[in-house]
Amino acid sequence: MLILSNEEIESFLSINTCIDALESAYRSWSKGTAINRPRTDLVIPSSSESGVYAFKSMEAGLYDPPIVAMRINSDIIRWNNQGGRVIKTKIPSAPGEKYVGLVMLFSTVTGEPLAMFPGVASSSALAARYLAREDASTLALFGSGWQAGSHLPAMCAVRPIKRVNVFSPTKANLEAFVKELQPKVSAEVRAAESPEAAVRDADIIATTTNSLSRVVNPDWVKAGLHLTCVRVPELGDETIRRIDRLVIHAHQHAPKNFIAGYGEEGIEAHDAIDIIGKGPAHAHEVKVEHPFWLSAPALKDLVSGKVSGRASAAESTCFLNNIGIGLQFAAVGAAVFNEAKAKGVGREIPTDWFLETVHP
């Protein structure tokens, strides 16, 4: 079985290879030759004083290539208020102050585990390939974390971006981000002094924050704009309603949330679409009503041609990344595995360590 690190993957995987793999996988999903299991979140009290423990999992399988991928996150999470907004923060509590996010690949031919590595995906850039104006040259980017770091070069790969205005409320993080990302793209990357300065003359607005409150003012929606997000609350209902053409990631409202607590108070948890659940003394599933935007077409139907992309330069468009799906990781994971094997990158460990001599 092959083990890969973030740095090793970055050394050989191109953005275009990643996006092309996703495009092929979404077409397969649309025609029924790929399968996806909806995401599930399990939240329980943690002995850590920093927050609660959350375990997120999702899987998907492809006929071609014959791969199944399982994506897991094992996190300590905390919610707090900053500047009047609810912020979801993952705490780097693993050894070395690191996070835990893994993709495991399995062969559908032999059943054996093939590889394990951190997750990579670029679904927002794939959507922009169909929805953003072809001459889009200015990107407004909100956030300075790893999501922002993956979105910036991906957007530059699908559109002729010449200028990137980045805004983050923490000045030190913003300056460090601009310094790190500038060498990775030909576009000018610069720090914006305010959200309003970031979106001025923007053709694409990408929100990649940990905010569970609105980041995009509805008044910023204009003719020809393309919007994308990593969380629905970053846009909010009023902003979404102003969009001419909306595409969502998948027709699942939210993860299945299983929340456990102890004592009468239980725990409080907010998921990616700002659900608040009070956990009783026993585990339970949080259920919510479906939002209005769930009737919009999904990305797989856009990519397969079942629904149209941008119809004119004057349209405002939006990709609502309402939920992560396992298909992203199966598609890109297969590309990662094949290229790593071809280039001899990574560390091999005995596959036999993960096999059994008895039927489980």
164-199, pLDDT tens digit by residue?
999 999 999 999 999 999 999 999 999 999 999 999
Q: What is the pLDDT of residue 289?
A: 61
Q: CB of 50 within 8 A of CB of 76? A: yes
Compute φ and ψ for 229, nearest 5 degrees: -145, 170
Query: For the chain, how many residues are written?
Result: 360
Q: Which residue numbers in the chain have pLDDT < 50?
A: 262-266, 268-287
β-bridge mates for residue 320, sequence order: 248
If one counts every other C-beta atom within 10 angstroms of the C-beta of residue 172, the result is: 9
Q: Domains, the chain, ranges and CATH?
A: 2-121+327-353 (3.30.1780.10), 123-252+290-324 (3.40.50.720)
**Nearest by Cα to 275 from 285, 265, 266, 263:** 285
Q: What is the pLDDT of residue 284?
A: 40
Whether the ω angle into residue 153 lies within 30 degrees of 0, i.e. cis, is no
- Measure CA 52 to chain center: 21
pTM for the model: 0.88
Beta pairing, strands 284-286 & 226-229 = unpaired
Q: What is the pLDDT of residue 280?
A: 35
List, for residues 257-272, the tens digit of each pLDDT value.
Answer: 777 764 444 454 444 3
**Nearest by Cα to 124 from 271, 292, 328:** 328
List, for residues 203-212, the tens digit of each pLDDT value.
Answer: 999 999 988 8
Q: Which two tokens stand for residue 221?
A: 């929606």
> What residues contact residue 95 under an 8 Å CB cut-off, 6+ apart?
none
In order, the DSSP letters of 259-275 are E---TTT--EEE-TT--
Q: What is the pLDDT of residue 81?
A: 75
Q: What is the pLDDT of residue 213?
A: 86
Residue with tokens 């039927």: 359
Q: Is 55 helix (H, G, I), strand (E, B) or coil?
A: strand
221: exposed, middle or buried (Cβ count in 10 Å: 0-12, 13-18, 19+): buried
